[in-house]
Structure 1
């Protein structure tokens, strides 16, 4: 069976932006693990006519349709009723679910209103998916070659229901399938267009595994995906492809999956047994905030100073007044002294500094986006990196911090 899966999330709160559709993300990951292709995500409000229309569209293009939400006791919980009418299956009471609901109200010494019985209604002939953390059961059935699965909306109910019962249903119904195995490679310091150009022939030739470039927040990620009945073989296919890609762009590779440059930096600081301190001007403490947000920061971060004004740079950090007068705060010379002085002051192995113009106006004759990052290490010449960033004030600050982490990762990687 060529599985074409669609996930339909029901709930006006999703369309209003009141909650995030995390259910679809969870289900897509779970279904990929089963080897089931998800082609569409649909969100529809609590409206029977629009839901019916969404179901009919899904029937034309998908043969597995999974619904989340709309199984509760209130009038706007209309998923079951709409599906019942659309596919021609009556709703009947599931006795076990009804007894469970009634017993719940007895135990909690509450009066059960009549509409709570609605939660025990299921599509006639459906396989019941037990709700271990709520009242409304889920269900699944096949009608005219299409599988319909109904799951509750609250993630605390939906996730265990699918993991404990939904997965088993699909495994039994669809039989053994190829497993989809994915891997995310993360790159920094190279643009999406350049990376794509460097591996264009690999992208053009892809069959299995496949490679998909994604960009965001000044970084580029590649998602590699392999299909095989044997997970070990799928992983070997990914290993071979990763090696081929990184033979060309490996100098920009820094990690896997959901890691960040800050996380990789902290791992290396611990691994190498090095300490660091920071002097921040335009970043306003953003670098230090990212580092201290991670566990174990006290092992390697000696301290930081937000020295936003020239007075603070001179009086607290001991940057030379002559340097500030001759070259200005936004200069290579200032960045160099800031990095060296914070390292001495904190007695750390590494000192890093950030100074520049985030905007919205030029400063000291320097255009918006001019940034200097200094890195001082004991026994080595201080390095200063100059950049010209474009974008918003916050975007410039975010990219500055990422580049600081990037150069520190490169430095620490080279240390024995």
Structure 2
């Protein structure tokens, strides 16, 4: 089976937004063994969209259309496809009720075309939109099959994974059950991860493996199919064990929506440990990441941003001679920052950050050179040096994640 992905939206053609949907869909189709030979981008224009559909169905078994399902007049995907196929549009009553209920409680007049989001082509399988209003659909025809998805990534990805994926998996493999598990890694790049997992990736069949580069981290999606859920789960769990046997030191958790901050906070909660932080180059970013996690107040009550040497001395009581003898960018300063912030706020754990965010050097150290310290419940204090040669905010983000990974590594 081969597929073609059509991204619909003038804003994509104009470069106003980046098309993240096509790569997402292509990777997941590849996991199913469905080859994507063509990708197209077309604006919100009747004639041009129909010409792209004509071409796509002439050379592909599956045509995936993403975008153009909203409530405005330029959202024309369903209309064009229905007219092209000579089929009527029906209304999904559940979706229509959801739209009506929303506007009844929302202080805004309902657009006259809002109900278009509840329309689907006659004979199609409706794909519910749990994160929005515009329903998707899957339609089989003699010419080819059509998968129609919304454009917004948060809506499209959820709909694809929950509703479209099982349909496509059954078509591609004949198996009614498909499942995926996402492993998350930090401290290793995508290329290196692929290289280390090459023996598994080269021989993959079921499960399949696919790596994805994220913001300063990497994920690995393991997808398996079978006739029974228990069998599929066993296939995935077996592959997880094989992966961790090779690159387990970089692994920190599972899930598309997971993060190092969530994992660290969850670990602190489970162990009933409190935390503080003393930040220099990250300037509060680490504490902000903790604050992004719901319920963090159970383990985090506050911390320090000590940017200058003088504030480190006055607030954290770091001896002047430590900074004079070793500099602010040093193991010694990172250790003192961690142990003293822990002592001042009487917490179980403390993390410290000191280094060079750049672009200029500091004390002879280049941008991207930094230390992360961690003071642990048993009184042990560690510090680790890192070098990450990117721009200022990338360095700060990476340093923050290094601190979170150190929490995971030392408390798991």
1:387-402 residue pairs with structure 2 within 5 A?
A: 387-402=386-401
Q: 1:222 aligns with which of 197, 202, 220?
A: 220
Report the counterpart of residue 343 of structure 2 in structure 1: 344
How has the CA–CA distance of structure 1 residues 71 and 215 changed in structure 2, closer, same or farther, with 3 Å as cutoff? closer
How has the CA–CA distance of structure 1 residues 51 and 342 changed in structure 2, closer, same or farther, with 3 Å as cutoff? same
Report the counterpart of residue 372 of structure 1 in structure 2: 371
Q: Which whole-Å deviations, capped at 9, do the CAs of 1:112-132 have from their partners, x for residues lacking one?
A: 99x999999987x75596999
Q: 2:161 & 2:375 partners in 1: Cα distance?
A: 51
Q: What's the CA shift for 1:86?
A: 4.6
Report the counterpart of residue 213 of structure 1 in structure 2: 211
Q: State which structure, 1 or 2, has the greater radius of gyration over its C-alpha atoms.
A: 1
SS of residue matched to 1:398 = helix
Q: What's the CA shift for 1:9?
A: 4.1
4-13 or 145-154: bigger deviation: 145-154
1:370·1:387 contact (CA, 8 Å) conserved in 2?
yes
1:15-414 residue pairs with structure 2 within 5 A?
A: 15-16=13-14, 37=34, 39=36, 42-67=40-65, 70=68, 76-79=74-77, 82-83=80-81, 86-87=84-85, 89=86, 126=123, 142-148=140-146, 177-258=175-256, 259-413=258-412
Q: What's the CA shift for 1:361?
A: 0.3
SS of residue matched to 1:410 = helix
1:349·1:377 contact (CA, 8 Å) conserved in 2?
yes
Q: 1:265 & 1:247 partners in 2: Cα distance?
A: 22
Q: TM-score, normalised by structure 2?
A: 0.78
2:281·2:307 contact (CA, 8 Å) conserved in 1?
yes
SS of residue matched to 1:301 = coil
2:34·2:172 contact (CA, 8 Å) conserved in 1?
no
How has the CA–CA distance of structure 1 residues 155 and 360 changed in structure 2, closer, same or farther, with 3 Å as cutoff? closer
Q: What's the CA shift for 1:65?
A: 2.9
Unaligned stretches of 5+ residues in structure 2: none
Q: 2:158 & 2:185 partners in 1: Cα distance?
A: 34
1:129·1:165 contact (CA, 8 Å) conserved in 2?
no
C-alpha root-mean-square deviation of aligned residues, in Å?
A: 4.5
Q: What's the CA shift for 1:366?
A: 1.6
Q: What's the CA shift for 1:13?
A: 3.5
Q: What's the CA shift for 1:281?
A: 0.3
1:32·1:180 contact (CA, 8 Å) conserved in 2?
no
Q: Which whole-Å deviations, capped at 9, do the CAs of 1:304-324 have from their partners, x for residues lacking one?
A: 110001111111111111112
Q: What's the CA shift for 1:198?
A: 2.6
Q: TM-score, normalised by structure 1?
A: 0.77
